[in-house]
Structure 1
């Protein structure tokens, strides 16, 4: 995602923190659908974070950290490669696809969606018990509408 302020964080629009969190959950749902295998997502809600050096009373970002647990661990085989191929068709640009440096050599995929001003990092934790995908969706900077306050949750 390209920044409009030169700080690496794009401007995502004007929303209340609740509206922005709802939009981020919908984006996570789209990613869940793209995974394309049977499973269950962890029950987690988005949170609010600061937006770099911008005024914390006027600007905020939303993050949504969640996990996906397949019905059968063997179903995770090939899912990262499929996501790497399919996500660009849904407006995502894969900016990184590699094994990490952990002892488990987890496969990581990072993608940006410039239209939705969001990024996602997906980690295939094949050696976790149970195996899962760990996901973190992070938005660009939102500005709170005049007369409203940022809810921190």
Structure 2
């Protein structure tokens, strides 16, 4: 083990990158199911990036996506539903309420300790004139989801570059 892992405040679990990618997809699916809305969805899929502390062997998974094309009132209700449903699905909601942005977006931050992932889920409401949204939501309201893992370590003998 590298001495760098103590800099993270935890010892990264050894995980195959594809296993972590599959978990990110599954966790995103749980969130999507709990949202319970049928709209347009961006689906870039989970990506891999290196962790700064030991980039040859430490990596994290990030799965950002968004949903739009449904009425704002339905999205507000979906956020309430998420706050209730995520704990039933193994998530711990650590924050629910208005964020610190100028737009005061409704936000949920939740952790999945079982899989070492966190989710930041934000309702960006275009009815709010101070809203600044990502490009795919520049003209409409939507729910933006970002599922991010802790740093994981590739198995011995492998490096992040090999992926």
Report if TM-score (shorter chain) is over 0.5: yes
Q: What interval of TM-score do these two structures reach, taking the shorter chain for normalisation?
A: 0.7 to 0.9
RMSD, matched Cα: 2.3
| CA deviation string 1:96-151 (max 9, x = no partner) | 11212323211111000111111000000011621100111011222112232325
Q: How many equivalent residue pairs?
A: 148
Which has more strand, going by share of residues? Answer: 1
Verify the 8 A CA contact 1:10 1:140 in the aligned structure 2: no
Partner residue in 1 for 2:8: 7
1:29, 1:152 → 2: CA distance? 27
How far did residue 71 of structure 1 move?
3.5
Could you tell me the TM-score, scaled by structure 2's length?
0.79
Contact 2:56 2:161 (8 Å CA) reproduced = no
Q: How far does residue 82 in structure 1 lie from its aligned partner after superposition? A: 1.2
Q: Does 1:88 align with 2:50?
A: no
* Ranges in structure 2 where 5+ consecutive residues have no aligned partner: 127-132, 134-138
Which structure has more relative contact order (CA 8 Å, sep 6+)? It is 1
4+ residue stretches of structure 1 with deviation over 6 A?
none
- More helix as a share of residues: 2
Alpha-carbon offset, residue 51 of structure 1: 2.7
**What is aligned with 1:98?**
97
